[in-house]
Structure 1
Amino acid sequence: MVTSLMLYLLYRRRKRKAIKADDDVVLDVPTGPRKFSYAELAEATNNFDEKQKLGEGGFGGVYKGFLNDLNMDVAVKRISERSKQGIEEYASEVNIISRLRHRNLVQLVGWCHQRKELLLVYEFMSNGSLDSHLFRNRGSLTWELRYKIALDLASALRYLHEEWDQCVVHRDIKSSNVILDSNFNAKLGDFGMARLVEHEKGSETTNLIAGTMGYMAPEYIITGKASKESDVYSFGIVLLEIAFGRKAVEMKSEPSEVILVNWVRELYGRQKHLEVIEPGQGLDFDKKQIECLMVVGLWCAHPDSKLRPSIWEAILVLKFDAPLPPFHSLCLPSHQFDHGSDRSTNSDASQTQISSSYSTSLVFPR
């Protein structure tokens, strides 16, 4: 009995490495991604030279590097001390993404926490983020590539929601977190906000709402419950961005066009949606595909979480293995908007204000 127990403990120790750093970061990482020293990553990025910087976000900077011993290019995320993405998010990202294996998820190569630095090392994706192609380098994506990227993202989300041991709720699906490799294969990244949920449970209440405005489902903003359905909402917004080349929220637009999902619903209701596709962007689009992408986007971003499809249902329609949902299933009168079954009847004024803004602005015009 004792011998069996010792063998089991030895197996567990070899199978996983538990790391506790001097800054109390606790990681439980399977064999695969490795722990780097700060010196290794400083050398790889030429001491985090600004010329190596690939981008800058609220979390800090991302630098291109080259690891001599692995003979590979990498992207090193250096989390800033001022970042809202602190130790908890860093540990969450390493602990979750290091276990996931899918062709449409960014691969974690390793991590480092030394000298009070939090560093994450990923595979290098030479074509950058999706948002850079949609909103800055317009015309760089053919319609064929856009549709493929939509299917790639759907595949990643299906794996997270339905195919892994636990359901992974990403909580921050947006075009800037969709990264493109040299062949424009799309991979979902940034798992700092992600949470593990048992499949039968399906959602998790969080004390702090995390995400990006414009991509966050209304019931998540109000109740703080992240779920597969709130991820699907965000996915729907990205589909609309891909289809129309516009941001989820565009403050400089006309008032009726500020919120992308509202604007597209109105256009679709008046059958004007194809008129806003700009030929100058080089979109050799397929009419059937763009209508499919738009309708599935609206379906996924339905204000009522109960009326959204599962990611599997959305994929069937995107692949034309199932018919488009009827127009009336995309509509929702404001008085029927469901804010979530767990919402208190004594909700505060801020919740009332949020729900009012969603119920009036995110439905079809009558």
Structure 2
Amino acid sequence: MASRFFFLVVAVVARLCSAAMATGGRADDILRPWPPDCSTADNYTADSQYKKNLDQLLAALPAAAGDNGWFYQGSAGAGTDDEVFGLIMCYADHNATACLDCLSRAPAGIATVCPGSRNVRAMYDACVLRYSAAPIPATADLSYLHSVNGTVRGVPVGVTSESARAAWVALMSELTGGVAGSPLRLANGSTPYSGSQAMYGLAQCTRDLNASECSSCVSSYTDRLGDLFPNNTGGAIKGYSCYLRYQVGVLDITLPPAPTPPAISVGPSSSSKSADHSKTIGILIGVFVGSSLIALVFFMRLPRRKREKSKLVDEEAAREMDDEFEEGTGPKQFRYSELAMATDYFSDKRKLGEGGFGSVYRGYIKEMDLHVAIKRVSKGSKQGRKEYASEVRIISLLRHRNLVQLIGWCHGGGELLLVYELMPNGSLDTHLYSARDGALLPWPLRHEIVLGLGSALLYLHQDWEQCVLHRDIKPSNVMLDASFHAKLGDFGLARLVGHGRRSHTTVIAGTLGYIDPDCMITGRASTETDVYSFGVVLLEIACGRRPLVAVSRSHREEDVMSRPLVARHGEDGREEDVIHIVQWVWEFYGRGAILDAADARLKGEFDASEMETVMVVGLWCAQPDRSLRPSIRQAVNVLRREVPPPSLPAGMPVPIFLSPPNTLYYTSSVATMGGSTSTSTSTTASAPDKEKCSAKLI
């Protein structure tokens, strides 16, 4: 479907400028920007060194950007008072011809457009150009130069459909997450609009911005677009730091080519570089020798026995790790120095979250041009060490689109480190419980997350060569990529077993609220225990409530099936009963009103059939009698609407297995890979065989 934005106001201005600038009765061939920002104070002169440096920079920009993926940031006259800093980048909704034309003509004509200006910001249809007498700050400029609404042939400009609004919200969420996670600072995507139509969008930032600044800029533009054009089928907003556009109809996107090494640089002569290089090497050698002598003196003062014992322990541990990872293929073994540099030496500013066995940091691995999440296991944590080994040994063997990818690992420098692909949208629980109303996860995305999580579990239980028991399925372990696709992560508690067999462990593993009641007693995990946790997560997604639901005693029916697990005082001082979400939803199901349990924040904006199916499958998977639960394949078949949902009894079967009352307390579960914090505690319970069982609460 042909589509076009009509930039009415700006087009008129451009035409007027073109007419006004004609000289000598002939057309002006200079490429002119939208009204540029040209400084007027302290202008340079024609014979100044600043002018010479500026000419050198502008002459180098087209080739430098052409060889660097249509983006370049550099300077000329380095180390002098007249150094000039510049930046140029193409927009992705213009083809290669338009981009290269802008890269060439914009620098060539800008000195004519802004004569004598030391600081210039200029925006063109196909590119943006900036230069200044000071380093260009890597912070987002949230102002915008222009915004326009769009029209699409055959589609009305104004729309009031809630489905259109839902499509816009889902698209903006996808773009905001995607642009921050992309090394190109570029994201494009689409969401269903109506019938065969789709809504397409583009978000782009200048590549000098980090992920946080880029996300901030695009999020700001998203809010402004929503205010400026609340009921339009298209709109765009453009500034010097970022660009956001959407429309009903296909957008022609041209991705930049890969950079061509070596990159062009504009700077000091080779002789001065050589001198500086030699000086740097001399300083480094001096520092190294001095540091080595100090370290040697300190090392010799250590007791010899302690030194030898520590060395033996570290070498033995490293050999054990290497033996365990021998059979794993795929993930890379990193050096500690690589990962330390990638996280600014594990700076608190890079910390994404913290759990019981370590912290997670955002990192950038320059050699791979890749943003990652790096999990740093707490020193001295035996359980953390076990989870580290389990994670590498198991997840390195698995390959599935709905599993978080393990990029690599490291057990050097006295540290245990795991490197994962970065999930820009964090964990599912943050979107279910911490999102602002305007960023509420819409039902279509929730339904896709349900299907993705089911697909991951089907692969683990039945489609891989061995059966993998995850043992800790919960929203904080369900990560969301830039497009909000679900990816199951954290395999620290996972176990490999033969198909059709149960785990032999007698230690309770998992998170209270998600642990199968049968497993709480026997301590033995099975595919049914994972299915139980999966069912609880389905109910959370549908209802928007945590596993333990608070119900005011003055507003609930006394029913044996809703017997509370815990009594507590609410914020208003009234006594509340806390019951499990399975019991709570089953009450609605028994009354024939299961949709009344749906997340009230959705305000009824969901497919009723899909919602009911998800909740019924959730109850089916999480019913107390493990023998009545479905296999994951049966559950997924129903969720995919390939077979009809089951008919469950009106009353929830009375659980046979009950955990000791003193173990039933709750702490909130929080993500460790997506930008939130987490807490951890533990408790013990006595099993029938008198062995001590420990349960992890995260």
| Distance in 1 (alpha carbons) for counterparts of 2:649 and 2:413 | 57
| Distance in 2 (alpha carbons) for counterparts of 1:200 and 1:57 | 32
Q: What's the CA shift for 1:270?
A: 2.0
Q: What's the CA shift for 1:280?
A: 3.5
Q: Kindly indicate whether residue 542 of structure 2 is the aligned counterpart of residue 224 of structure 1.
A: no
Aligned length: 322
The residue that corresponds to 1:248 in the other structure is: 547
| Distance in 1 (alpha carbons) for counterparts of 2:337 and 2:603 | 45
| Distance in 2 (alpha carbons) for counterparts of 1:338 and 1:329 | 20
| Distance in 2 (alpha carbons) for counterparts of 1:184 and 1:283 | 22
Specify the code of the residue in structure 2 equivalent to 1:22: A
Q: Out of 446, 450, 467, which is 1:150 matched to? A: 450
Partners of 1:256 and 1:263 within 8 A in 2: no
Q: Kindly indicate whether residue 103 of structure 2 is the aligned counterpart of residue 103 of structure 1.
A: no
Q: CA 1:191/1:283 → structure 2, altered by over 3 Å: closer, same or farther?
A: farther
Q: What's the CA shift for 1:27?
A: 2.1
Q: Out of 355, 358, 376, which is 1:78 matched to? A: 376
Q: Out of 250, 253, 261, which is 2:582 matched to? A: 261
| Distance in 2 (alpha carbons) for counterparts of 1:72 and 1:233 | 36
Q: Out of 594, 613, 636, which is 1:273 matched to? A: 594
The residue that corresponds to 2:483 in the other structure is: 183
Q: Out of 444, 450, 465, which is 1:165 matched to? A: 465
Q: Kindly indicate whether residue 353 of structure 2 is the aligned counterpart of residue 32 of structure 1.
A: no
Q: What's the CA shift for 1:279?
A: 4.5
The residue that corresponds to 1:131 in the other structure is: 429
Q: Out of 486, 494, 500, which is 1:200 matched to? A: 500
The residue that corresponds to 2:533 in the other structure is: 234
| Distance in 2 (alpha carbons) for counterparts of 1:82 and 1:215 | 28
Q: What's the CA shift for 1:351?
A: 5.4
Specify the code of the residue in structure 2 equivalent to 1:185: H
Unpaired runs of 5+ residues, structure 1, are: 1-18, 340-348, 353-366
Q: CA RMSD in A?
A: 2.3
Specify the code of the residue in structure 2 equivalent to 1:168: V
Specify the code of the residue in structure 1 equivalent to 2:528: E
The residue that corresponds to 1:50 in the other structure is: 348
| Distance in 2 (alpha carbons) for counterparts of 1:299 and 1:84 | 37
The residue that corresponds to 1:214 in the other structure is: 513
Q: CA 1:195/1:319 → structure 2, altered by over 3 Å: closer, same or farther?
A: same
| Distance in 2 (alpha carbons) for counterparts of 1:238 and 1:310 | 16
Q: Kindly indicate whether residue 416 of structure 2 is the aligned counterpart of residue 115 of structure 1.
A: no
Q: What's the CA shift for 1:257?
A: 4.5
Q: State which structure, 1 or 2, has the greater radius of gyration over its C-alpha atoms.
A: 2
CA offsets per residue over residues 52-97 of structure 1, 9 Å max, x none? 1111111221111011111111000111136564222111110000
Q: Out of 592, 602, 605, which is 1:284 matched to? A: 605
| Distance in 1 (alpha carbons) for counterparts of 2:382 and 2:602 | 36
Q: What's the CA shift for 1:330?
A: 7.3
Q: What's the CA shift for 1:22?
A: 3.4
| Distance in 1 (alpha carbons) for counterparts of 2:544 and 2:475 | 11
Q: What's the CA shift for 1:140?
A: 2.7
| Distance in 2 (alpha carbons) for counterparts of 1:144 and 1:284 | 10
Q: Out of 621, 625, 629, which is 1:300 matched to? A: 621
Unpaired runs of 5+ residues, structure 2, are: 1-314, 551-567, 659-684, 689-698
| Distance in 2 (alpha carbons) for counterparts of 1:255 and 1:44 | 48
Specify the code of the residue in structure 2 equivalent to 1:74: V
1 or 2 for the larger relative contact order (CA 8 Å, sep ≥6)?
Answer: 1
Partners of 2:374 and 2:418 within 8 A in 1: yes
TM-score scaled by length of structure 1: 0.82
| Distance in 1 (alpha carbons) for counterparts of 2:650 and 2:498 | 29
Q: CA 1:279/1:215 → structure 2, altered by over 3 Å: closer, same or farther?
A: closer
| Distance in 1 (alpha carbons) for counterparts of 2:544 and 2:515 | 19
Q: Out of 90, 94, 101, which is 2:388 matched to? A: 90
The residue that corresponds to 1:344 in the other structure is: none
Q: CA 1:75/1:29 → structure 2, altered by over 3 Å: closer, same or farther?
A: farther
Q: What's the CA shift for 1:183?
A: 0.2
| Distance in 2 (alpha carbons) for counterparts of 1:279 and 1:200 | 40
Partners of 2:585 and 2:597 within 8 A in 1: no
Partners of 2:517 and 2:657 within 8 A in 1: no
| Distance in 2 (alpha carbons) for counterparts of 1:330 and 1:154 | 26
Q: CA 1:256/1:82 → structure 2, altered by over 3 Å: closer, same or farther?
A: farther
| Distance in 1 (alpha carbons) for counterparts of 2:460 and 2:367 | 32
| Distance in 1 (alpha carbons) for counterparts of 2:601 and 2:508 | 39
Q: CA 1:278/1:38 → structure 2, altered by over 3 Å: closer, same or farther?
A: same
CA offsets per residue over residues 286-340 of structure 1, 9 Å max, x none? 1111111100000000111110000000011111111111122874245xx379x
The residue that corresponds to 2:367 in the other structure is: 69
CA offsets per residue over residues 168-192 of structure 1, 9 Å max, x none? 0010011100000000000000001
Percent of matched pairs sharing the same residue: 54
| Distance in 2 (alpha carbons) for counterparts of 1:276 and 1:166 | 37
Q: Out of 332, 335, 344, which is 2:653 matched to? A: 332
TM-score scaled by length of structure 2: 0.44
Specify the code of the residue in structure 2 equivalent to 1:126: P
SS of 2:460's equivalent? helix
Q: CA 1:274/1:80 → structure 2, altered by over 3 Å: closer, same or farther?
A: same
